[in-house]
Amino acid sequence: MSRHSFDFGPAGQVRVMSAWTPAQVKTEVEWALERFAEVLPEDLGTGILIKPNMNNDLAALIGNSTDLRVLCSLIEALKNRGYHRIQVADGSNVGVHRRGINTFARLRIDKLVPRYGVSILDLNQDGGVPVPLQAGARPKIARAIMDAEFLISVPKIKTHAEAGLSCALKNWVGICTGQDKREMHRDLGRNIMAINEVVKPDLILVDGLVGMEGNGPGDGEPFRLGHLMMSTEAFTNDVVACRLVGMPIERVPYLEHAIHAGLVSQELLEQSAAQVPMLRQIKHAPQRSRLAELSEARSLNWLKLAVRPLVDDPRVSQLAYKAGIIQDRYSLQDDSITGLRLRKDKCDDCGACAEVCPTHLSAEEIGVKTEPEDCIQCLYCWWACPQEALELEGQLHFMEAHAARYKEQVEALCS
Ligand code: SF4
Ligand code: SF4
């Protein structure tokens, strides 16, 4: 395992740690938190709001949403320090919100977080405060974010067809309530920069265990990066994130704007280029189709609204997906998984399942200890198992399409 510390002077410090198993993630989060102890609130009664990335209902091992191993390690580390007013809050993307899909349930955050006595808040349902940004955008930012006493952002590292890369700065699009996120697309690059000037996280913990490359954030390919990163300054954080995955700054419009606005200094760019190692050269997102760009045009909003009932038809959305107009296709049918059982005759004791279990079950316990206090049915073990040794009770439903597309890739990256 490796640890890197970078001190960029006024641009702040960044820690990068390798990790994969739940025990390693826990150790590294504790270690990094200790390094940033001076920024943590002195008053243990301070309200701490953790904002993960729950963009949609793709599980963390596919590279889209924040990994539960990271989330529970952070909560445990904070609770170990005595903080007791902790909340996990996010608002999923506009497609998820419009369809009424509950990502807290689909991603099992609703089963994980209450185990620690921590509450959950859907920012899409929260009252909002309108904030003027760029290009006439005036999205409402969730009241809970505006009022937060201490904010921790827990983003993912993934490519983004429109924004180049999604990490801490892009994670802040999720603080806009409901359909107000569309406002950001009036000029996404400038608005990502601007919203990060309005509200700043106090601490950032990047989930770089599994990322997404190619056509992200909803239709790319997962890859194992096996790293975490902690910092306090979102612009610095994302410059370092770009460096770690070989993403040129000029492919990330909001960082380009930040350089021109003086929010990212030349000194930081030079220092990070000289000091930060590239862990992986990720595949960039492909050029967006002209149709996809047109679909964001505000002047065509009337047309978008008019054809929306059509687009909700799975056959039409399949066509729109094939034409590159949309990335995400949603099923309204939640899964009905009630448990999973180990088939000992199929298991070869590889241990891949235990390396991803956020509740720290061992390979001998997975599929055996199935009570709710042991297993939150996140199915990470099932995604990782290459032998089909974990049999599901209930139906995958919405996850069927995810599994058809990604199961083999997840097995490979977990092996
Ligand atoms: S045993 Fe499997 S489904 Fe249960 S919590 Fe662990 S990884 Fe998730
Ligand atoms: S991943 Fe599958 S095969 Fe490997 S130990 Fe777990 S249940 Fe057995």
* Domain harbouring 382, CATH code: 3.30.70.20
- Indicate if 110 and 158 belong to the same structural domain: yes
Give the tens place of pLDDT for each residue, 90-107. Answer: 999 998 899 999 999 999
CA of 407 to the centre of ligand 2 (A): 14
Q: Is residue 372 part of a domain?
A: yes
Q: Is residue 133 part of a domain?
A: yes
Q: How far apart are CA 89 and CA 76, in angstroms?
A: 17
Q: What pLDDT sits at residue 96?
A: 87
CA of 391 to the centre of ligand 2 (A): 11
The CA angle 158-160-164, to the nearest 5 degrees, is 100
Q: How far is CA 73 from CA 33, 101, 243, 413, in A?
A: 11, 26, 25, 21
Q: Is residue 284 part of a domain?
A: no
Q: Which of 127, 260, 258 has the alpha carbon at shortest distance from 191?
A: 258
Instruction: Name residues whose C-beta falls within 8 Å of residue 217's C-beta, 6 or more positions apart in sequence.
Output: 55, 56, 64, 158, 159, 160, 161, 166, 327
Question: What's the whole-model pTM score?
Answer: 0.93
* Confidence at 1, pLDDT banded by 50, 70, 90: confident
Q: What pLDDT sits at residue 180?
A: 93
- Indicate if 306 and 253 belong to the same structural domain: no
- Indicate if 93 and 185 belong to the same structural domain: yes
Lowest mean pLDDT among 202-216, 239-253, 312-326: 312-326
Q: How far apart are CA 291 and CA 304, in angstroms?
A: 12
Q: How far apart are CA 92 and CA 3, in angstroms?
A: 32
Q: How far apart are CA 347 and CA 333, in angstroms?
A: 30
Q: Is residue 331 part of a domain?
A: no
Q: Give yes or no for residue 321 having a pLDDT over 70.
A: no
Q: Give yes or no for residue 317 having a pLDDT over 90.
A: no
More reliable by pLDDT, 147 or 290: 147
Task: Give phi and psi for 9, each to the nearest 5.
Answer: 60, -125
Q: Is residue 27 part of a domain?
A: yes
- Indicate if 129 and 175 belong to the same structural domain: yes
Q: Kindly state the tokens that stand for 395.
A: 């139906």
Q: How far apart are CA 140 and CA 360, in angstroms?
A: 39
The beta strands (E) that lie in 301-389 are given as 339-342
Instruction: Name residues whose C-beta falls within 8 Å of residue 410's C-beta, 6 or more positions apart in sequence.
Output: 61, 62, 222, 383, 384
The CA angle 248-253-254, to the nearest 5 degrees, is 110
Q: Give yes or no for residue 291 having a pLDDT over 90.
A: no
380 lines ligand 1 (CB under 6 A): yes
* Confidence at 63, pLDDT banded by 50, 70, 90: very high
Give the tens place of pLDDT for each residue, 143-190. Answer: 999 999 999 999 999 999 999 999 999 999 999 999 999 999 999 999
- Indicate the average pLDDT of the chain: 93
Q: Give yes or no for residue 325 having a pLDDT over 80.
A: no
- Indicate if 362 and 402 belong to the same structural domain: yes
414 lines ligand 2 (CB under 6 A): no
Region 193-216: mean pLDDT is 97
Q: How far apart are CA 239 and CA 12, in angstroms?
A: 12
CA of 373 to the centre of ligand 2 (A): 21
Beta-bridged to residue 156, according to DSSP, are 207
**DSSP SS3 for 223:** strand
Q: How far apart are CA 71 and CA 68, in angstroms?
A: 5
Among the bound ligands, the one closest to the CA of 340: 1
384 lines ligand 2 (CB under 6 A): yes
Q: How many domains does the chain contain in total?
A: 3
- Indicate if 316 and 346 belong to the same structural domain: no
Q: What pLDDT sits at residue 64?
A: 95
- Indicate if 134 and 249 belong to the same structural domain: yes
- Indicate if 51 and 189 belong to the same structural domain: yes
* Domain harbouring 108, CATH code: 3.40.50.11440
Q: How far apart are CA 379 and CA 381, in angstroms?
A: 5
Region 13-20: mean pLDDT is 98
Task: Please provide the size of the chain in residues.
Answer: 415
Give percent of the chain above pLDDT 70. Answer: 90
137 lines ligand 2 (CB under 6 A): no
Q: Give yes or no for residue 308 having a pLDDT over 70.
A: no
* Confidence at 249, pLDDT banded by 50, 70, 90: very high
Q: Is residue 334 part of a domain?
A: no
- Indicate if 105 and 231 belong to the same structural domain: yes
Lowest mean pLDDT among 55-59, 297-301, 369-373: 297-301
Q: What pLDDT sits at residue 264?
A: 98
Region 353-373: mean pLDDT is 95
Region 287-303: mean pLDDT is 65
Answer for the pair 159, 152: CB distance below 8 angstroms, yes or no.
Answer: no
381 lines ligand 1 (CB under 6 A): yes
Q: How far apart are CA 97 and CA 128, in angstroms?
A: 15
Region 68-89: mean pLDDT is 98
Helices and strands, number each (H, E), in the chain: 16, 14
For residue 376, the ligand 1 atom closest to its alpha carbon is 5
Answer for the pair 381, 357: CB distance below 8 angstroms, yes or no.
Answer: yes
379 lines ligand 1 (CB under 6 A): yes
Q: Is residue 281 part of a domain?
A: no
**DSSP sequence for 213-253:** ESSTTTSSEEEEEEEEEEES-HHHHHHHHHHHTT--GGG-H
Q: What pLDDT sits at residue 286?
A: 84
Q: What pLDDT sits at residue 305?
A: 64
Q: What pLDDT sits at residue 216?
A: 87
Task: Give phi and psi for 208, each to the nearest 5.
Answer: -110, 35
- Indicate if 295 and 409 belong to the same structural domain: no
Q: Give yes or no for residue 309 having a pLDDT over 70.
A: no
- Indicate if 46 and 9 belong to the same structural domain: yes
Domain region containing 41: 3-275
Region 359-373: mean pLDDT is 94
* Confidence at 301, pLDDT banded by 50, 70, 90: low
